[in-house]
Amino acid sequence: MTRLSRREVLCTTAGVGALVVAGCTGGAGDPGGRSTDDGSGDGENSDTTEGGSAAIADSSVRTVGTGCLSGDQRTDIGFDDEAGRVVVTGVVGAPTPCHVATLREASYDAGEGRLSVDIGTEPDGSDSCVDCVGGIAYEATVAFETDLPREASVAHDGQGLASAAYGSTSATPPGEGDRTGDSAGSDGDTDDSSPVLEGAALTVTDISAGATEASADIVFRPDANEVRGRGVIQGNDGCETAALGEVSHDPEADAVAVDIVTVDREEAEERACTQELVRISYEVTVDFSGGLPREASVAHDGQGVGAAAHGSASAGDGS
Res 214: pLDDT: 81
What's the whole-number mean pLDDT along residues 62-86? 87
- 3 has pLDDT over 80: no
Of the spans 211-220, 233-242, 301-310, which averages the highest pLDDT? 233-242
**Bigger pLDDT: 8 or 303?**
303
Question: Residue 178: inside a domain, yes or no?
Answer: no
- For residues 52 and 156, membership in a common domain is answered with yes
Range(s) of the domain holding residue 290: 196-309
Could you tell me the sign of the dihedral formed by the alpha carbons of 267, 271, 275, 279, in that order? negative
Reported as a pLDDT band with limits 50, 70 and 90, residue 269 is: low
**Bigger pLDDT: 35 or 134?**
134
Domain's final residue, options 139, 156, 172:
172
Res 311: pLDDT: 52
Instruction: Please list, in sequence order, all residues whose beta carbon lies within 8 angstroms of the beta carbon of residue 1, skipping any fewer than 6 positions away.
Output: 82
What's the whole-number mean pLDDT along residues 285-310? 88
Provide the 10 A C-beta neighbour count for residue 124.
17
- For residues 167 and 105, membership in a common domain is answered with yes
Q: State the greatest distance between any 2 C-alpha atoms of the chain, in Å, as a whole number.
A: 82
> Are 305 and 280 spatial neighbours (Cβ–Cβ below 8 Å)?
no
Question: Residue 31: inside a domain, yes or no?
Answer: yes
Question: Residue 251: inside a domain, yes or no?
Answer: yes
- For residues 98 and 147, membership in a common domain is answered with yes
- For residues 31 and 168, membership in a common domain is answered with yes
Res 76: pLDDT: 80
Domain's final residue, options 157, 172, 187:
172
Reported as a pLDDT band with limits 50, 70 and 90, residue 256 is: very high
**Nearest-angstrom CA–CA distance, 244 and 263:** 10
- For residues 247 and 210, membership in a common domain is answered with yes
- What is the rounded average pLDDT for all residues in the chain? 74
**Beta strands 278-289 and 226-235, pairing class:** antiparallel
Reference 87, options 310, 317, 295; nearest CA is 317
* Number of compact structural domains in the chain: 2
Supply the Cα-derived Rg of the chain in whole angstroms. 23
Res 137: pLDDT: 92
Reported as a pLDDT band with limits 50, 70 and 90, residue 152 is: confident
Question: Residue 314: inside a domain, yes or no?
Answer: no
- For residues 34 and 164, membership in a common domain is answered with yes
What's the whole-number mean pLDDT along residues 67-72? 84
What's the whole-number mean pLDDT along residues 69-79? 84
- The sheet with strand 85-94 has its strands ordered as 56-68, 134-144, 85-94, 74-80, 8-11, 20-22, 171-172, 159-165, 151-156, 114-123, 99-109
- For residues 100 and 236, membership in a common domain is answered with no
Instruction: Please list, in sequence order, all residues whose beta carbon lies within 8 angstroms of the beta carbon of residue 236, skipping any fewer than 6 positions away.
Output: 262, 277, 278
Of the spans 16-20, 71-75, 166-170, which averages the highest pLDDT? 71-75
